[in-house]
Structure 1
Amino acid sequence: MPLIPEEPQIHESAQGPRVAPATGRTAPTPRPVPGPRSAATPRPGRPGPGPARPAPPAQRPHPTAGQSQAARSESRSVPQIQLIPASAGGALDAADEAVDLLLDSGRAPGDILVLTTGEHHPWAAHELSFGEAAYWAQHEAGEDVFFAGAEGADRVQARPVVIVAVNGAADDAAARALLLAQKRAGTLLIVCGDPQQINTVLGVGV
């Protein structure tokens, strides 16, 4: 039998690489490389410079202790001066009457100091008989009316009311007692004695 030539068979050729179908994803965008940060660019997350704070108020200069003490001394009122005319022999009685009037008006006994320019007040003479220590202790306690002589006027402390009985001669001791009493009196100075003699010492009409 005659040979029938075989028809060439077509074989499927090997397929090449398949291209994957395109999906919805796009190619990634290249990230920018950060450059140097500008000094004017604020750092993220930190607030920028706020408004300028107001300057603190200027402090006033405080006066020193010496200045304040001097101001207090100048502002301290001069005590009122009252004159009770009396002779040298009646000055003690006039001083006692002044003490009684002050106590009756409500003045505390410890506010009153009585100075004598001549002989001591009977109370002072009695208390001094027990010794000067006990005598001056009563003055420092400040609980009662205190009587002192002109020779001890430098030792007395200030009290609101000072009464001076000019029951002695107008000597230097009496003058010092009057001037010191004017400094020791806080609000009131009462002088019992000769008006002309007192005006000569104090230098003012009272």
Structure 2
Amino acid sequence: MQLIAADPRRALERADEAVDALLEAGRSPGEILVLTAGDAHPWQRHERSFGEAAYWAQLAEGGDVFYADAHATRPMRREVVVLVVNDTRPGRVHQAARKALGHAAALLVVCGDAAAVAPVLGRPGGRVPA
């Protein structure tokens, strides 16, 4: 697990930087799932504008980074999950962190406040291992 500290207003920006770093490090775009705890990522909104069927088909095809709401009920699993903690409501953040952890096969990158997700991830005092 990796933590990139950010307040909710900057979490999305930090997540985009994390995705760029993962790609530069050699990760395939199809290995990466970006989940938002709050408002949707702009790319997710763009892709959904083409219709739900086309949007979800991209997940199944697995050829590109996929952007989704952490609270989506569809099954999603990728090697790397980047969680954008862009919400301040504890219940919503906790649920998003639990889902993100379950969707990550190898690595979870949390972009947000460590103290907000630490209780869910079993790390008292806001400590999340890198």
- Aligned-pair CA distance for 1:196: 1.0
2:12 corresponding residue in structure 1:
92
Give 4+ residue runs of structure 1 displaced > 4 Å after superposition: none
Per-residue CA distance 1:74-112 (angstroms, 9 max, x = gap): xxxxxxx11110000000000000000010011100000
- Aligned-pair CA distance for 1:195: 1.4
Given the two structures, how large is their TM-score scaled by the length of structure 2? 0.90
Structure 1 pair 170–203 and aligned structure 2 pair: CA distance change class (3 A): farther
Distance 1:190 1:96 in 2: 11
1:188 corresponding residue in structure 2:
107
Distance 1:195 1:94 in 2: 14
2:118 corresponding residue in structure 1:
199
- Aligned-pair CA distance for 1:203: 2.2
Structure 1 pair 156–121 and aligned structure 2 pair: CA distance change class (3 A): farther
CA contact (8 A) 1:110 1:144 kept: yes
Any unmatched runs of 5+ in structure 2? none
Distance 2:60 2:108 in 1: 20
Distance 2:70 2:7 in 1: 18
CA contact (8 A) 2:71 2:95 kept: no
Secondary structure at the counterpart of residue 115 of structure 1: strand
**Range moving further from structure 2, 107-116 or 180-189:** 180-189
Distance 1:171 1:141 in 2: 33
- Aligned-pair CA distance for 1:172: 2.4
- Aligned-pair CA distance for 1:150: 2.4
Aligned AA for 1:181? Answer: A
Q: 1:25-64 to 2 correspondence within 5 Å? A: none
Aligned residues: 125
Whose relative contact order is higher, 1 or 2, with alpha carbons under 8 Å and at least 6 apart? 2
Report percent identity of matched pairs: 51
Greater share of strand:
2
CA contact (8 A) 1:170 1:197 kept: no
Quick check: 1:142 aligned with 2:39?
no
- Aligned-pair CA distance for 1:176: 1.6
Distance 1:151 1:180 in 2: 7
Distance 1:156 1:145 in 2: 16
Distance 2:8 2:47 in 1: 23
Given the two structures, how large is their TM-score scaled by the length of structure 1? 0.58
Distance 2:121 2:89 in 1: 12
CA contact (8 A) 1:150 1:173 kept: no
Distance 2:74 2:27 in 1: 23
1:6 corresponding residue in structure 2:
none
Q: CA RMSD in A?
A: 1.2
Distance 2:40 2:75 in 1: 15
Quick check: 1:160 aligned with 2:79?
yes
